[in-house]
Homo-oligomer: A and B are copies of this chain.
Amino acid sequence: MRVKKIRMGMVGGGEGAFIGAIHRIAAAIDGEIELVCGAFSSTKEKSLSSGLGLYLDKSRCYESYQEMFKQEAMLPANERMDFVAIVTPNHLHFPVAKLAMEYGFHVMSDKPATLSLAQAYQLKAVIEQHAMLYGLTHTYTGYPLIKQAKHLIEQGELGNIVKVVVEYSQGWLASKSDESSKQASWRLDPEKSGVSCCMGDIGVHAANLAEYVSGLTIDNICADITSTIAGRTLDDDGTVMLKFSNGAKGVLLASQISIGDENNLTLRIYGDKKSIEWSHLTPNTLLLKSNYEPTQQIRAGVGTMCNAAQSAMRTPAGHPEGYLEAFANLYLNFAKQIRAFQANEACDNQTFDVPGIDEAIRGMAFIEGVITASQSELKWQPLLSNSVEKGSE
């Protein structure tokens, strides 16, 4: 039988949405994944209109995700979708993922995974129960030089990590007048966004990146979050001091009111031998610094890269790849994992890694922990309480 592309369905991402189009590009770019169906919007007409605009067959443009899972599950195995991409506002991530798995579909979810930490533990139970694949789009882990930085640290190039500085600053919510956009309105609405706007939307990316690259976990935090613009109930800016599992100190800054900042995610990790520095706006350069030797500008594709970084590049050195390619790397790796799953073979998950449920739980613990810590008059708070860790509600 002819080998076919991995088949993807989509929930959310209809006309006018932002992140849905990004997911579709990321899935399409390498020619390994085919979009075959979708429940793109809350009404049948909009969903159909969106689907036809994406060249889908009319019969596979569904009016609800429930309907989609039900119908697709009844199609022959070599026609029905293999996995679903969830690109709705936050509050739907969990129920859609849960139902998908119950119908036997793998899940690639936008982040944050759920609305609460407790829900994240529930989701983990669902995943384990059905033994399905689950991916979470912490996009920035998809950059080749982020993987190379992680590799350098694993190889001991930096020595013992002593300090981590991570920042994710944007300016797009700096004014009251910025709130009217579709993107802004649901993010600032606690019912759709959860307990946090800034920390839940981008702070969690920064925390994930710091842990991913350093290989450490954040154990204790001291947080101060702010709603800078009058009338907002959720945070739009915040600073979190960090203590890591190995005793290293750190700082995390996140902001949506840093006017003039675009999408400024930066990461610096200092060891007792060397340090690394990376900036999202120049993602193809990684600085490797030390005290008594020239700083090395590690460039994507120049010289020897680790396997994970090498697999994450499509062009030779000097051809800038960016955000969409980083995003695509998550999908490409997820497709490899699905292929291996279907063939009942092992997948080299070190090289073809995708953030998953454990990162989802870490992320929700971070978001809730920051809110709690920020409300406390005491300085330091543990990041993950034992009671919650056991999954009790």
Contacts and interface: CB of A to CB of B under 8 A. Distances in A.
B324 A315 contact: yes
Contact of A294 (B58, B239, B288): B288
Interface in A226-269: 226, 228, 237, 239, 241, 249, 251, 253, 255, 257-264, 268
Nearest to A158: B259
Given A239-B251, A294-B297, A295-B297, A302 B262 contact: yes
A389 interface: no
A319 interface: yes
A55 B294 contact: no
Assembly stoichiometry (copies): 4
Contacts of A378: 377-379
Contact of A174 (B288, B291, B325, B376): B291
Nearest to A56: B2
B379 A165 contact: no
Interface in A157-209: 162-163, 165, 170-172, 174-175, 178
Nearest to A258: B270
Instruction: Kindly name the residue among A251, A259, A287, A295 whose own CB sees the greatest number of chain B CB atoms within 10 A.
Output: A259
Interface string A291-324: 1111111110111000000000011111111111
Interface residues of A, number: 93
A70 interface: no
A275 B241 CA distance: 24
A196 to B, nearest CB: 16
B35 A31 contact: yes
Contacts of A55: 2-5, 31
A292 B297 contact: no
A358 interface: no
Contact of A171 (B253, B260, B291, B321): B291
B257 A270 contact: yes
Interface stretch (A89-97, A127-135, A278-286, A363-371): A278-286
A289 B259 contact: yes
A58 to B, nearest CB: 7
A45 interface: no
A288 B322 CA distance: 24
Interface in A1-36: 2-5, 18, 21-22, 24-25, 28-31, 35
A154 interface: no
A272 interface: yes
Interface of A: 2-5, 18, 21-22, 24-25, 28-31, 35, 52, 54-55, 57-58, 162-163, 165, 170-172, 174-175, 178, 222, 224, 226, 228, 237, 239, 241, 249, 251, 253, 255, 257-264, 268, 270-275, 277, 280-284, 287-299, 301-303, 314-325, 376-380
9 contacts: A2-B58, A3-B55, A29-B324, A172-B316, A259-B272, A260-B274, A263-B317, A281-B320, A377-B380
Given A2-B55, A259-B271, 9 more contacts: A31-B55, A163-B255, A174-B270, A281-B320, A292-B303, A294-B299, A296-B296, A315-B324, A376-B379
